Structure 1
Amino acid sequence: MANNQQQELLQAVQFLRLTIPRMSNLAIPITPENYTVWYEYSSGVNLDLNRAIDDFLNNGVEFTPEVNRELYDTYIPATPNGKIAGVQGETEQIVLDLLNEIKSMHEGAQKFTGTLESSQEELKNNPSISSVSRLIANLIDETDRVKRVNSSMERKLTAMKQEVSILKTDMETLSVKSLTDQLTGIANRRAYNGAIDRFLANFKENQCEFSLLMIDIDHFKRFNDTYGHSVGDMVLSFVAKKLKNVVKGTDFVARYGGEEFVVLLPATDYEGAKTVGQILCDNVAQTTLTLDEGDKKVLGNVTISVGVAMVTSEDDAASIVARGDRALYAAKEKARNCVVGERELPL
């Protein structure tokens, strides 16, 4: 592997080790956008970005979501997700190359050490000519030196391998976090955007039909206004868990935004999707929520409304969601705690 690849790996490890602790110390969420900003800051390649962040740090500016968004929008080029994926892909390739070299160098070092040890033993046992003795002594000294070098090399390679493993784990953790809603633990909007693109591509290439459920928590604002946002968060997590427990296999559930969720059901026709929607409604509504405070205050039953849409040959990511949303709004206007499919709507 070329020296510049080794240098790239070492730099990637160094930048990663600087980036995540800095974000953690400043209480900055590790999102793809925030990570891109602070990775570039750590690398020092974006001078304007570094000057802006240094000014903020020197003046005690708090890195609020608004400040983070401003930094990202102002100083990061317009292809962030691709850049993150590219950095990760390049790093992973460097990691693979390095691991292969570690294996080869380690095996070569062991073989060379074994050869030297055999030669050393043979020379020690056959000192037949005095003039050769000095050569033997020198060879023994050189052998010892090479053995020490090899031992040092192996220690360095082992340490580097550990660094690579840490880097790989950190990148995998970052990738998972970037696709996970931190409150509910299910997939987030970014993960959904990738999923709907895959579902649509599979439909157009392989005719694999799927249905979509748009889901909204009924009277969610009332929970927030009456009991506070912490209870609202509890309700969101409760509904997310119920949805996750019902969907199976290759079904996909995500938090779409606010109190709205989305479910993708592969190989599920319109009527089947309505059935799943009703099961979700029933599972959510059957549990009475309570607060774990002294007398266990009863919050009541949470309900959801569901809109159903099925993919068509004309669909893109926006159109199928729009139809699902129309059906969802009809369900909320109809009675709430119910399922309405797009075919029930007036043309």
Structure 2
Amino acid sequence: MIKVLDEHERTMAFAEVALGQIRSLRQTAIPRNYEIWYVYATGYNAPLNKIINETLARSGKLTEADLEQIYETYLSHIKTTDRIDKVGARVIGEIDDVMKVLGDALGMTSAYDASLSGATAKLSSAKSRDQLKTIVEALLRSTSEMRETNKALEDRLTLSKNEISNLQQSLEAIRAELWRNLGDDGVRKAAYRGG
């Protein structure tokens, strides 16, 4: 319980610093600005703190353009990375699901092969019409089960193909967004990064 209270007090202190900076610099209290100042207060993003300190030392203020640039350079890529990680996790999940379905299908194929082998032996030793009928019915059941398994596998692979295609489109959208963000502002962003 004490750890929870300590964490509460620590995060509240960061929040107070963030709000204090927004007040003292007379900035708009929008989520982007709060996030910038909260991260600044934590000290966990040294490059962000450095550029803020340098900009304040140079001009005594941070303009909306400065804040936007700082956010895009030092914080928005974290969200992009999170999105990429989520897509990657979904791809891994999809692959795991397909591997399970393939494993099940391989097991069914082995059972079907054993059924065919057993039927071959039984057919060669069948003495009556009733024995032949029983063997043929068992083969029909096995073939029907195999057909159902193949259909389920085909359906699942089609779903996986569509899901992977959607995930690929998500990654393409993220890549396009990254290029857009680096596009015209690339030089200015590189300057904020020190590059």
Higher relative contact order structure (alpha carbons within 8 Å, sequence separation ≥ 6): 2
Larger Rg: 2
TM band (smaller chain):
0.3 to 0.5
Higher helix share: 2
Q: TM-score, normalised by structure 2?
A: 0.46
